[in-house]
Amino acid sequence: MPKLVFTQPEFANQSCELRDGAFTVGRSRRNLIIIDEESVSGEHAQLLVYGREVIVCDRGARNGIFVNGARVQAQSGVNHGQCIRFGNVEVRLDLGPIEQEDSSDITAIHEFRRFQKDAGGSPEGAPLFPVTFAPRKL
């Protein structure tokens, strides 16, 4: 299962598993993944997850979104081990061990649209959201 792992010392030992679906990221309490750090916009990004496919979408973030140092203009796929930076906060995408994959034409965007049409609940066994991450004083 995909996981966001915070890489900075002030966020040490903080991570978040991501099941299939859409996850809003930002400082506002309206997001599913809340990053309580002033360089993160209220509505910073959206993550679309389907299996091992993860796409990050910019939601007009003031300080931008970067994948491995390259600024994301609209959206970008993210691969295992790549870093995503929301403002000044950096996370690494860990896709975990490769499980048996189905060959399919379904993509994260396709799955997100299907998810939006459905009732909208979280998948069974999904981590509880919203979840908040804040820097710790060192």
Higher pLDDT, 73 or 108: 73
Interval 78-129: pLDDT, tens: 999 999 999 999 999 999 887 665 556 666 666 666 666 664 444 455 557 8
Return the half-sphere exposure (C-beta side, CA atoms, 13 A cut-off) of residue 128: 1
**pLDDT tens column, 10-51:** 998 899 999 999 999 999 999 999 999 999 999 999 999 999
Whole-number Å distance between alpha carbons of 61 and 135: 20
Answer with the residue of higher pLDDT: 59 or 137: 59
- When pLDDT is averaged across residues 46-74 and rounded to a whole number, the result is 95
User: Among all chains, which residue has been given the structure tokens 């996981």?
Assistant: 3
Q: What pLDDT is recorded for position 96?
A: 87
CA angle (14, 56, 110) in 5-degree steps: 120
Q: Mind giving me the DSSP string for the chain? A: --EEEE-SGGGTT-EEE--SEEEEEESSTTSSEEE--TTS-TT-EEEEEETTEEEEEE---TT-EEETTEEPSSEEEE-TT-EEEETTEEEEEE--SPPPPPP-S--HHHHHHHHHHS--PPPTTPPPS-EEE-PPP-
pLDDT band of 137, cuts 50, 70, 90: confident
Which two structure tokens, joined as six digits, stand for 105? 């034409």
| pTM, entire model | 0.78
**pLDDT bucket at 138, cuts 50 / 70 / 90:** low
